[in-house]
Structure 1
Amino acid sequence: MQSLNDRQHTKMGRANSPVKGTPSQSLTTRANTALSQLQSLLPPSSNDEESPITIIRLSAPIISSASNSEPPVSRNSDISNTSLPPSGPTPSSLEADLLHYKELFSKLRFSYVEQVTKEKFIRAIVGDPPLIVTPQENAELEDSNKIAKAELKSLKNEVADMVKDLEQMGRELAKRYERVKAETVRLKELPGRIEQSEREISRLKQEQQVAEGSKAELNLPLAKTLQLVGEKKRQMQELDRQLEQLRNQAPRKRKEMERLQGELMGLEQKRANATAAAKEAKRRKVNAGGRGVDELEARGRWYRGSEAVLRGVLDIQG
């Protein structure tokens, strides 16, 4: 078992190792080489799509024998009589079958031992002459039974460990097989992708050559390019600093804007009142027509005359 596992690891190690090639060897050739190495790991039957690797039909003999001999009573609860899926037995169905048969054979063994024991006792009792067993013989039989049971237990443990190792190895091999199949599919698609990437690289190189004539910055050497990048970074840092200053001034400017908006609203209200008063005065003047001076205008003249008299009396300049 250990040698088989070592051989599997050796083959998988050769498959997973990188494919070495000369510099003149193209990527497509390397991909094809890796694909051939992966396909060499697959069994011959797995290369044929009509005969893929499937689970071994462990229940085929039991099902065939059950189908040949028709039982008198149908047992729908028996797993052996249930129909298998069209694609064959699955791991879960096989595990259920094995568990069912294990329990069934355990019951059959118990029934067999019980029946044989009863038959021996009956023959020993009714026999002529009757079979008489001494305590010494019972003790010797118990000692031999203990030794046999110990050997049987060790063999059972060994078989259980072997089955566990085989199950683990089977799961690992199944995972490796699925991984190899997936890698094989990817490797089959890889040459086309490589060719497409090469065409894309050629197209980008042509576009770059066309664009190099229009932009002189693209033709700069590495030192000047790094210098230009440093200047751009310094400009960005300066812009970030100015932006941070403007962000700090934003709350004060916002408060000032709110104050100016309040003053503007007051002035707008005054302008609206003055406009309304002017319209009202104009309306009164129009309504007065040729009947003389409007009352409001006369009152204004009286106020101006009174102001002039008071300024003259009080000797106020201005």
Structure 2
Amino acid sequence: MAELNPTEVRKQLQQLAENGDIKTQLNILRISEPIFAPDAGSQNSSPSKRRSDASNLDNPTPASLEADLTHYKELFSKLRFSYVEQVTKEKFLRAIVGDPPLVVGHNENVEMETQLAEVKAELRARKEEVRAMVEEMEKTGRDLANRYKNVQLQMTQLSSLPESIENLESTIAELREKQGIDSDKASSQNLPLPATLSLLSEREAELAALDRQLAAVQNTLPRKTREAEAVDRELSVLERRKTEAVAQAQEVQRKKEEGESDGLVEMGKWYRSVQEALNNLVDVDV
């Protein structure tokens, strides 16, 4: 099958839309034509035929079809009543004016009632069949209407599809051109299947090693956290001692600059003299 050009397909769709052939080709079977468009002779010979105001020959709608169906049901009901009335009158008059007159007895009435009951039962069965057939036709009609709407939606999407195909083709061409330019930069993307599988195995092995290292680090993390907390506590104690020592040194330096004596120098001299005296007593040279 030859490949279709999107541009040609779009032109054909536009031409069909302009000529009105799309609706003709995709139109579902119009069941209203036997009612709305019969032969010319039957139109002239049917004065009781009626078209509802909502009906449209070219584009019948479900509402117009339902209105006409209701009208024809009422019309046929009246015609049936008139037919039964006329036939009954005709038979009665023939029975009266006949020679000899037709006299119906009781037995004949009973037999006629029996036949009438059978005919009525058959008529009810036929009516039930017709009702089921009408329901099936209505269901089929709704299904066909939904399918027709889907076809119209798909036609709308199809009209915009060639342009999308052209855009995609141009994008693919640009990507292929870019891939040809960047082939040297991304040589790993153009590897054959065996080399790609080998590279994939290496990457998976590296990933597994990283996972093991991460698991080991996570296992040692609680112990390292406790050690860091202990070091922080010791550091805080040392910082406090340092602050106290600096404060004491600053205080001593201030007192020296101001000439104040805190007793430490005198105490040191006294300790020195006591040490010299003791050394002299025990003859120990320091």
| TM-score normalised to structure 1 length | 0.55
> Are the structure 2 counterparts of residues 45 and 220 from structure 1 closer, same or farther at C-alpha, using a change threshold of 3 Å?
closer
What's 2:6 paired with?
28
**Rg larger for:** 2
Give 2:114's match in structure 1, choosing from 143, 150, 165. 143
Please give the alpha-carbon distance, in whole angstroms, between the structure 2 residues aligned to 1:150 and 1:270. 117
Give 1:214's match in structure 2, choosing from 174, 180, 185. 185
> Are the structure 2 counterparts of residues 96 and 298 from structure 1 closer, same or farther at C-alpha, using a change threshold of 3 Å?
farther
Please give the alpha-carbon distance, in whole angstroms, between the structure 1 residues aligned to 2:190 and 2:236. 59
> Are the structure 2 counterparts of residues 149 and 210 from structure 1 closer, same or farther at C-alpha, using a change threshold of 3 Å?
same
Is 2:268 the partner of 1:301?
A: yes
SS of 1:214's equivalent in the other structure is coil
Q: Contact conserved, 2:28 with 2:148, CA < 8 A, in 1?
A: no
What's 2:153 paired with?
182
- Shift of residue 161, structure 1, vs aligned partner: 1.2
Q: Contact conserved, 1:55 with 1:90, CA < 8 A, in 2?
A: no
Give 1:46's match in structure 2, choosing from 23, 29, 50. 23
Please give the alpha-carbon distance, in whole angstroms, between the structure 2 residues aligned to 1:299 and 1:160. 131
Q: Contact conserved, 2:52 with 2:64, CA < 8 A, in 1?
A: no
SS of 1:212's equivalent in the other structure is coil
> Are the structure 2 counterparts of residues 273 and 213 from structure 1 closer, same or farther at C-alpha, using a change threshold of 3 Å?
same
Report the aligned-residue RMSD. Answer: 4.9
**Structure 2: stretches of 5+ with no match in the other structure:** 36-49, 86-103, 282-286
> Are the structure 2 counterparts of residues 264 and 193 from structure 1 closer, same or farther at C-alpha, using a change threshold of 3 Å?
same
Q: Which runs of 4+ in 1 moved over 6 A?
A: 51-56, 93-99, 306-309
- Shift of residue 229, structure 1, vs aligned partner: 2.2
Q: Which amino acid aligns with 1:226?
A: L
Please give the alpha-carbon distance, in whole angstroms, between the structure 2 residues aligned to 1:200 and 1:304. 98
- Shift of residue 163, structure 1, vs aligned partner: 0.7
- Shift of residue 285, structure 1, vs aligned partner: 2.7
**Structure 1: stretches of 5+ with no match in the other structure:** 1-20, 65-82, 117-132, 314-318
> Are the structure 2 counterparts of residues 281 and 146 from structure 1 closer, same or farther at C-alpha, using a change threshold of 3 Å?
farther
Give 1:258's match in structure 2, choosing from 229, 248, 257. 229
Q: Contact conserved, 1:55 with 1:89, CA < 8 A, in 2?
A: no
Is 2:245 the partner of 1:274?
A: yes
Is 2:213 the partner of 1:242?
A: yes
> Are the structure 2 counterparts of residues 280 and 136 from structure 1 closer, same or farther at C-alpha, using a change threshold of 3 Å?
farther
Q: Contact conserved, 1:28 with 1:191, CA < 8 A, in 2?
A: yes
Q: Which amino acid aligns with 2:6?
A: T
Q: Deviations over 1:31-51 (max 9, x none)?
A: 939x87xx8xxx957269xx9
Q: Give the count of matched residue pairs.
A: 232
What's 1:202 paired with?
173
> Are the structure 2 counterparts of residues 243 and 267 from structure 1 closer, same or farther at C-alpha, using a change threshold of 3 Å?
same
Q: Which amino acid aligns with 1:209?
A: G
What's 1:71 paired with?
none
SS of 2:182's equivalent in the other structure is helix
Please give the alpha-carbon distance, in whole angstroms, between the structure 2 residues aligned to 1:235 and 1:204. 31
> Are the structure 2 counterparts of residues 26 and 140 from structure 1 closer, same or farther at C-alpha, using a change threshold of 3 Å?
closer
Give 2:142's match in structure 1, choosing from 144, 162, 171. 171
Please give the alpha-carbon distance, in whole angstroms, between the structure 2 residues aligned to 1:295 and 1:271. 22
- Shift of residue 154, structure 1, vs aligned partner: 0.6
